[in-house]
Chains A and B, each alone.
Chain A
């Protein structure tokens, strides 16, 4: 957590042993902040106040970083298929990933070994000279890591598969592309510099060759959620502020209630304590038709005004929507099929999610439409209660569904953070 004044060339000279020593310091600070409550709010305070590129978050911590961490601007998300066939190979991969992640999140090369002039460099190099840029790397396990398509226990961990880690149901309107869905492992790389995020995924996938290969990946060019009250609410590609009512790191007790898996949540999966579940959905937006909708229709669908994001029941952006407010003729000011109403905790039995989505565009499709939308990422304690019922209701009723199509999907168990000297997922393989 202390400012590292070494130059990239000096860093290259550091031995792996020395590197581990440095990260040990970071972990101690991280643990101390967690003792005081929500880690990330504090971690922000501990980092260089200038923020931006100088931000650094600890990798070794009770909870993985990249969840309640204030949402960074850029994303590179990757899902992997494990090609390793033994438990040992899989654990070795997770150990190697852990070491590399602990380095890269501190703004150092993925692997610092000195290599011969006749050998390929240990790190791919494109992030040399760049600061940590707030990089976080968050790892997860898909259902298929526990059991293959035939139900076979692949790595001797099937008995520990969490109840909540069950494939998501088909939601009305889904048009999921198998080549953009699921996966045995996932890595969410978030940073304020896209080069840093891409560098991280590139090096992790390089380390994985022989044990795992990328199944699909998604770049996100701009965050659409704020996870801290210190952040302004960004806009999605519909032009509206998104995630105003998102769960924020500063809300005392809310992360424990809605995000982190508790000790008694699932007796078979005690290893998930302090972890979370990640729902990833690639949501294509039909921008061309949306842009032809009147502002009246757009605001009615969203349930907020476009200029400031105020609910149509009145007030300003952060005014609580009044779902009962009526206008002329007793018509609800916030329409029955509006997004705000259907996504609101009141409509969903009080449950909340921590949303961490990103705007994306992958160029255009074959008929000249922008292939763009929202890469939805949400961290929840119980997907079956916090995501599935809400998405089912939205898929059925949300007026916005006319303008979106879900084209990719994944559900991952996010284990707790690694402790210094340990590795990601250690509690699962212990």
Chain B
């Protein structure tokens, strides 16, 4: 369970531009070493760019809004239509960077104070610096492929989740606790693999995955962890749910799972959403799973850990064709560290699953945490790389 419900929503503003190819808020990810940094001053009447040309490679436009309306800045292709890069929602007084990987050619710069109209345009030229730039024409295709690949993964996982949740709640309602306990972690792994997607539906996550510590006073507790506590009850001070109460909680979980299933039939994803999702999954591991805080009663945290890593890896793999073109070093680094982390996890495999979190020694937990950190650092650069 993440305490934030807007993980994918936050990046929604970026979504449109990700497919267009190039936007970033920070002048990093500069593979070629040096880059041109231009300043842009935007107000109601003017859009002053500090130079009319720049050498090919990474070009940074440092855009300051000196007007009184919200502005946007665009780099457009020679046809004046194709958006090479854009930065939007620059409020008065604020400064934001647009980083683009620009190939030689003719362009237009445009400021759009008030976010309406054609914008204040000027011709802009990118000269040939000799930098080795891959043609960016099929980025769009690669991003489309990544979206298709990731969307079918999400569909598949939610489908399996629905099936297994159905079996799980039947066992639980029937009082077959041993069998329900055996299926708990296995069913949940499908949830954990696509957790950021589930969380993007702000209404479902709190109903399905809230931990007891996350409850507000008087809030009704439902979902996986409610059942978890009932299946692995504390020795003292706890009253097991009655069959009727069990049925209510179980039916609610199945209904919510079906809603999630229905909503994910047609979802599409942008490259930055997939990349952010991978980063968030590792964040989930770092804050909840490696500390044993997710599965307080069942201690099946390593199942969730593995599932989060699975989901992050699938996201990365779908994006790999883009990453390989843009930053081979990053690609190798992420891939190597996924392998290393998996090796660490494999040490704790037991049968089809894992040992319980409580069976790990402090040194083993620290080793896992260290593996998560090692992977998370390069993974955090994935979004800016695939969107540049």
Contacts and interface: CB of A to CB of B under 8 A. Distances in A.
B358 interface: no
Contact of A300 (B10, B115, B215): B10
A367 B376 contact: no
B92 interface: yes
A402 interface: yes
Contacts of A294: 25-26, 276, 380, 383-384
A306 B370 CA distance: 29
Given A172-B216, A292-B279, A367 B365 contact: yes
B92 A327 contact: no
B28 to A, nearest CB: 9
Contact of B88 (A289, A295, A328): A328
Contacts of A337: 4-6
A311 B70 CA distance: 13
A315 B95 CA distance: 10
Interface string B362-374: 1001100110010
B149 interface: no
Given A172-B216, A314-B70, A327 B88 contact: yes
Contacts of A14: none
B139 to A, nearest CB: 19
Interface residues of A, number: 49
A168 B275 CA distance: 40
A291 B25 CA distance: 15
Given A172-B214, A292-B283, A310-B94, A328 B72 contact: yes
B3 interface: yes
B94 A292 contact: no
A368 B366 contact: yes
Contacts of A173: 3, 213-214
B91 A333 contact: yes
B357 to A, nearest CB: 13
A399 B377 contact: no
B291 interface: yes
Contacts of B380: 291-294
Nearest to A402: B4
A368 B369 contact: yes
B183 interface: no
Contacts of B234: none
Interface residues of B, number: 49
A68 to B, nearest CB: 30
Contact of B91 (A170, A288, A307, A313): A313
Contacts of A241: none
A335 B10 CA distance: 9
A148 B217 CA distance: 23
A381 B116 CA distance: 47
B26 A295 contact: yes
A174 B213 contact: yes
A402 B2 contact: yes
B217 A366 contact: no
Interface string A267-296: 000000000000000000010110111111
Contact of A314 (B88, B92, B283, B287): B92
Nearest to B3: A401
A293 to B, nearest CB: 8
Interface in A217-247: none
B290 A402 contact: no
Nearest to B214: A172
Contact of A366 (B362, B377, B379): B362
A316 B93 contact: yes
Interface string B93-128: 111000000000000000000010000000000000
B48 to A, nearest CB: 19
Nearest to B218: A169
Interface in A303-321: 305, 307, 310-316, 319
A369 interface: yes
A175 B377 contact: no
Instruction: Name the residue among A175, A329, A401, A402 with the largest chain B CB count within 10 angstroms.
Output: A402
Contact of B286 (A288, A326, A392, A399): A288
B128 to A, nearest CB: 31
Given A175-B213, A333-B70, A315 B370 contact: no
Nearest to B279: A292
A296 B369 CA distance: 26
A368 B370 contact: yes
B94 A305 contact: yes
Contacts of A313: 91
Instruction: Name the residue among A286, A288, A289 with the largest chain B CB count within 10 angstroms.
Output: A289
B131 interface: no
B298 interface: no
Contact of A401 (B4, B70, B95, B286): B4
Contacts of B31: none
A366 B366 CA distance: 7
Interface of A: 169-175, 286, 288-289, 291-297, 299-301, 305, 307, 310-316, 319, 325-329, 331, 333, 335, 337, 366-369, 392, 395-396, 399, 401-402
